[in-house]
Every structure is written in C-alpha cells, then in structure tokens.
Amino acid sequence: MKYLILILAFTLSTAASAQKHKPRTFLLVHGAWSGGWDYAKVDSIFKTKGDIVFRPTLTGLGERVHLANANVNLSTYIIDIVNVIRYENLRDIILVGHSFGGMVISGVAEQVPDRIGQLIYLDAMIPDSGQSARDVCGPLWDQMMVPFVKDSVMQYPFGKSRTGTPGDLPQPIKTFTEPLKIGNPQVKKIPSAFIVMTKNGESNPLNDQMGLNKARTRGWKIYPMEGGHYSMREQPVQLVRKLEEVIRSHE
C-alpha cells in the first residue's frame, strides 16, 4: 500500500508536465535470476511522464522460463537486447543495467553503440575485456556462488527468493562463465554513469570491486542512492528520481 500511495502521488505530480519534454526511450535490463517484471513499477511511472519503456526478460527467466536450457549463455542475453533495439528500431536509448545486467548492457554497447544515448549501470557489474561474470565476482564467486551451482544452473543465492509469480528463478550457468570481449572504440563516446546503492552513506565493498571501482577508474559520474540492492522493487519512486538526476546531468 505504501508503494501504491507513493507512486500515485508521484505520477499525479508529473502527469501535468508529461508533455513538456520529448518522449525518452528507456531500455531497462534486469539482473540475474530476475525478469522484466522487476521494473513494472518504474515502467508505470516513466510512461505516465510520456516516456517509452521497454523491459524485456532475458531468455529462460521470468515468463520465458520455458526457454531455459543449458546452452543459454551471455551471448544469448546480449542478442535478446540487441534484437529488441533492432526490431523496434530504437535510437538514442537510455540503456540501464542492474547488477548482472551490467554484463549484458556492456555487450550490447559493443554491438550497437550508435543506438545508445546513455549507459547507466545500476549497482551493476562492469567487466573488462575477456572477463566473465564469474571473473568480475572474484573471491565472492567461490565464497557465495559455487554452493548454489546445480547441474547447468545457479540457484538464487541471496537468502529466500521471492515466492509465487513473479519470482527469481535458477539461471543457466553459462551466462556467468562466458567471457565478454570488449574493444569497440565507439563505446567510450557514450555518456556513462554508475548508481551505487549505500547503507548509511557507505557502499558495499563486495559490490565496489564488481563495479564502482571500475566506474571511478574510467572517470564516470557516480551517483549514490541510499537503500538496498533491489531499488526497483523496494523504492521505485526514488529510483525514477535518481535516474532523472543522472539523465539531467548529461543533457
């Protein structure tokens, strides 16, 4: 109920100004074990403002769970998003990747840099060339991930998953172990930013090594946001405001 009241108040305050800006195109990429459903509330807010939003689900997750198989890898996920861009003929996209979704948007940017207006990493992984998600995780992989690998998938490792529908689902292991080749010089021309989730003003050191430290090294703008890792679930109104702040800084 609290979220509904916040969303209603926010959408009412922005509805009157929905036509004051040219509609922007958001392509929101979810994290591991998740699905496009994760961004449903964020989607609703942006559309009320007159924007265009795509929140596809990666192969084998969410409502596409029936497509899960052992051969699904990181390349599959990258193609999922690239094909949305090409078949919907999207341009000047604000491409957002949450958590593991940072791996995906990094690969997408390699293939279609001319279609992307901004890259926003939301508490996300940032790979160097030749790294897989497993590599980006570093010591965390052996400490927390390996025990949850079963056959060709990884179960949700961070406590109790959401139950019912929608919910977090096992993810094909090859999506974590396939390395990503990076080297397209055009990607460096895309304005990029990193939103880091904090608790009492402090970021999680484990998350820092997977993304924040690399964002700093690359000279990206850093935007702190107080709250848990799953901001789209826990505080969608505040996340929209933070994304607006990031977008404005590049205009």
Q: Give the C-alpha separation, 186 to 250, whole Å.
A: 17
What CA–CA distances, in Å, run from 45 to 66, 75, 106? 29, 31, 26
What CA–CA distances, in Å, run from 222 to 179, 203, 218? 26, 12, 11
Asked if residue 48 lies in contact with residue 11, where contact means CB atoms within 8 angstroms, the answer is yes
**Domain span including residue 154:** 2-249
| CATH number for the domain harbouring residue 7 | 3.40.50.1820
Region of 52 (left: φ > 0; alpha: ψ -120 to 50; beta: rest) is beta
| pLDDT the model gives residue 16 | 47
Asked if residue 74 lies in contact with residue 174, where contact means CB atoms within 8 angstroms, the answer is yes
Q: Is 178 exposed, middle or buried (0-12, 13-18, 19+ CB in 10 A)?
A: buried
Alpha helices in 72-153 (DSSP H): 74-87, 101-111, 133-137, 139-140
Per-residue pLDDT of the chain (251 residues; tens, 9 = 90+): 555 555 565 555 554 444 467 899 999 999 999 999 999 999 999 999 999 999 999 999 999 999 999 999 999 999 999 999 999 999 999 999 999 999 999 999 999 999 999 999 999 999 999 999 999 999 889 988 999 999 999 999 887 666 567 889 999 999 999 999 999 999 999 999 999 999 999 999 888 999 999 999 999 999 999 999 999 999 999 999 999 999 998 87
**Count of structural domains within the chain:** 1
